[in-house]
Copies of this chain bind each other. A is one copy, B any other.
């Protein structure tokens, strides 16, 4: 049957057809579907237009706020999707896209996703998910075991327990962090005497009952922006998320952390959580978790670890020790859509103690009833898709050893890339890769030397101009569409904490080769040799007196 006939006008009969008759294999959609399953890389290569179009220009294709009155043929809409949306999307899975935390996906994820979509289970309750509920509980249990290594008896007792949850599966690390901090906050102002708990009575009543002047969350200045958002949402306020200074390696200074805890205690401000980071978003560094755990334990503070990025490093025999102390965390965030190589929309938060998450437990009449095993009783979200099937399959098909190889090759590739950058005369490595993230900038050797010898004013001024240059190079390279690094702003000790704009490379795609990285540097050098950029460099040299 031709697609053209499928929905020529809105009639009940034509509507029934879109619910019952599949796309014909020779239809536009049928062909694309086959082409993606047979050769994904080829499909993306063919359809994503490399050269960047201006966003304002793209917006013209998405400017109409009116929902069309008449139905559109499936084939027409699909052609629109191909020409206007796919063509102008980002080639996330390209081996030369090393700018953000999204990588290529294993092939099996796509047909598996279709099984998930076709079943369309809703994980909020057993009645709409059945076996998906125990499956998700197992996935949470596996991640719990990866981190906490509890006994088999522990998991027999708790993994499928109807009154408890070892963690929460959610759409991503932001909600995972929010879940952990929500539980921590509610445990700090827990029911006591005639106080029914913050969850029931609110923050104000809780503070009055416990006699606190305020609540605070402590994290290094490299903490993820989701923590500030959580502080806002939870009513603590962004100013009560206190950023502790980091050392030259972007790790939290535990001496300052301990001191701040004690200062706050004196002010009668209760620290509701200390947050350690495994793989900071910008530099990929790991906080000294064991020392942080000591500080938290001494003061009975909830210790949360945000390992959204770096958690899977635990798969690696070689690098696992970097995370020592994570097993002492009260809660841990891990994103499956990052280094578990699952499509977007899968985060997990696990809790060492099966009771911790009970502080946010909730029920309703028609679903997530008391005594049910419905997962919705311990989640921020309500209705949720069965993404856990993708994590389950990833863990089975790739296995611990497979993930270990993925992790190891990423870290080792980052180290090779760092060596390449250091060997180049005109690049500066700004942060060494501890995991698989590093930052650098374009900076010819003569400017580099002059910068370190310059007066404070000249140095600051020169770095400001260099920041503009780095931005221009990054944007130009992105626009050319062959490769992509992101950029961020750091305050390196080397430059007395001047704000420095850097390129940020994330090396998680196993298909990225050192040749690709070498080409990327070459392209950046070429861009820097354009007249406009050369003029900027000349200005900087003049400023530093080496013109």
Residues of B within 8 A of A15 (CB): 398, 402, 405-406, 510
Query: Is A45 an interface residue, CB under 8 A from the partner?
Result: no
Contact across chains for A489 and B402 when beta carbons are under 8 A apart:
no
Query: Please, which residues of chain B bring their CB within 8 A of the CB of A371?
Result: none
Contacts of A21 in B (CB 8 A): 107
Interface stretch, picked from A78-86, A287-295, A426-434, is A78-86
> What B residues does A40 contact at CB under 8 A?
22, 118
- Can you list 9 A-B pairs, Cβ within 8 angstroms, ordered by A? A11-B405, A36-B118, A62-B138, A63-B159, A85-B135, A89-B121, A175-B175, A365-B488, A367-B486
* Contact in complex: B90, A115 (CB < 8 Å): no
Proximity string of chain A (183-200) to chain B, C-beta cutoff 8 Å, 1 when within and 0 when not:
001100000000010111
Q: Determine which of B102, B225, B345 lies in contact with A345 in the assembled complex, contact meaning CB atoms within 8 Å.
A: B345
**Distance of A134 from chain B, by nearest CB (Å):** 4
Give this chain's copy count.
Answer: 2
A100 CB to nearest chain B CB (Å): 5
Which of the segments A69-77, A245-253, A260-268, A516-524 contacts the partner chain?
A69-77
Question: For residues 70 through 119 of chain A, which have their beta carbon under 8 Å from a beta carbon of chain B?
Answer: 70-74, 77-78, 80-81, 84-90, 92-93, 99-102, 104-115, 117-119
A319 within 8 A of B: no
Chain A positions 341 through 385: 1 when the CB is less than 8 Å from some CB of chain B, otherwise 0: 001110000000000000010111111100001000000111111
CB distance from A119 to the nearest CB of B (A): 5
- A85 to B330 alpha-carbon distance, docked (Å): 31
Q: Which secondary structure characterizes the binding site on chain A?
A: helix
> Does chain B have a CB within 8 A of A480?
no
- Report if A145 contacts B (CB, 8 A): yes
- Compute how far the CA of A128 lies from the CA of B68 in the bound complex, rounded to whole angstroms: 28
* A114-139 to B contact mask, C-beta < 8 Å, 1/0: 11011111100011111111110110
CB distance from A514 to the nearest CB of B (A): 14
* A255 CB within 8 Å of chain B: no
A172 B366 Cβ-Cβ under 8 A = no
Residues of B within 8 A of A11 (CB): 405
**Which of chain B's residues have a CB closer than 8 A to the CB of A152?**
65
Q: Which residues of B contact A393 (CB under 8 A)?
A: 77, 81
Q: Which residues of B contact A504 (CB under 8 A)?
A: 366
